[in-house]
Amino acid sequence: MNVGFIGLGQMGLPMARNLLKARHSVTVYNRTRSRAEELQPDGASIAERPADVCSAEVVISLLADDAAVEAVILGEQNLPARLPAGGIHICMSTVSMTMARKLVAAHAAAETGYVSAPVFGRPDASAAAKLFVVAAGPAKLIERCRPLFDAVGQRTFLFGEDPVAANVVKLSGNFMIASVIETLGEVYALLRKSGVEPARFLEFATKSLFSAPVYKTYGEIIAKEKFQPAGFKVPLGLKDARLVLAAADAVATPMPIADVIHDHLLTALARGRKDWDWSSLARIAAENAGL
């Protein structure tokens, strides 16, 4: 399949590489050209601007936030209007509900295909093609995109015909991950102050009651305080906390734990940890305990 890929961050670059490994033809664009050049040995073509990838059958975008999506997808480049007849745009970015609906409207106006398909997983999962894809959009379009989802992920979950559904699932999932991080931070603080090694507790927890990958992955990171290099930085976590609170506010859904997570991530940012992994949220719980 002829694919365009916009956004080669820690997640996007290995995803584009896996598409190339799956023998798709891939043209890549990234604001920092050197990132795109890393994929040339793998067979990627480099676009000089976002509009240059729009001749592809499918264009995938994975950008940091609403502002980047607005500028690159809906700005002067006007990607929805530039897609060829039958073309599809897959947005894999984590965006607000407002932006999610704006993207749907823009593609409807341009009469071009649109699928929302954010992913779950850290950079190592991206490199190993072990991401979980959460997709929503017209069924016929999703079926056309399945070979691409299969190339970057281990499983794709479908959430209906409305692309916006995938975005609220993504925000909800990220909130749950942050809740696990916060819980682990508080529990580890209690354990350490009570003379119990967090690593020993983690072995018990992940081999009995809490065997899910999120507990294993973040439990180890927090126990060892391996907050750098970051797989997902504090400002991105804070952005997602703000987005889930805004989504909740729009439908009158109280989320008090999300408020705690937001405030603790903001505290981490205030303490100069913008380049730390968002799992350093747990460090705030330790500091609040005097550790």
pLDDT at 76 over 90: no
Tell me 276's DSSP state: S
| Active-site annotation holds for 102 | no
Among 77, 21, 81, CA closest to 48: 77
Q: What are the structure tokens assigned to 102, written together?
A: 């704006």
Side-by-side strand order, sheet with 88-91 = 45-46, 25-29, 2-6, 58-61, 88-91, 113-116
Alpha helices in the chain (DSSP H): 12-21, 33-37, 66-72, 79-82, 97-110, 123-127, 139-152, 164-193, 198-206, 213-224, 234-250, 256-270, 281-288
Residue 177 has pLDDT above 90, yes or no: yes
**What confidence tier does 44 reach under pLDDT thresholds 50, 70, 90?**
very high
Q: Is pLDDT above 90 for 46? A: yes
pLDDT of 124 > 90? The answer is yes
For residue 75, what pLDDT is reported?
Answer: 86
Percent of the chain whose predicted confidence (pLDDT) is above 90: 98
Per-residue pLDDT reduced to its tens digit, 210-245: 999 999 999 999 999 999 999 999 999 999 999 999
CB 160 within 8 A of CB 139: no
pLDDT digits (tens, 9 = 90+) for 94-106: 999 999 999 999 9
Q: Is the pLDDT of residue 257 over 90?
A: yes
pLDDT digit string, tens, across residues 146-173: 999 999 999 999 999 999 999 999 999 9
Residues 132 and 120: beta-carbon distance below 8 Å: yes
Length of the chain: 291
Q: Which listed residue (21, 102, 170, 216) is catalytic?
A: 170
How far, in Å, CA of 193 to CA of 246, rounded?
Answer: 36
pLDDT confidence bin for 268, thresholds 50/70/90:
very high
Give, in order, the Cα–Cα distances in Å from 30 to each of 17, 52, 116, 289.
14, 12, 20, 43
**Domain edges within the chain:** 2-162, 168-288
Among all chains, which residue has been given the structure tokens 């499983």? 155
Homologous superfamily in CATH for domain 2-162: NAD(P)-binding Rossmann-like Domain (3.40.50.720)
- Tell whether the model's pLDDT for residue 77 goes beyond 90: no
CB 24, CB 1: distance < 8 Å: yes
- pTM here is 0.95
Single-letter amino acid code for the residue at 172: S
Calculate what percentage of the chain has a pLDDT beyond 70.
100
Within 10 angstroms of residue 158's Cβ, the number of other Cβ atoms is 15
Question: How is domain 168-288 classified at the architecture level of CATH?
Answer: Orthogonal Bundle (1.10)
Q: Which residues contact 291 (CB under 8 A, 6 or more apart)?
A: 189, 192, 193
For residues 239 and 246, give the distance between their C-alpha atoms in angstroms, rounded to a whole number: 11
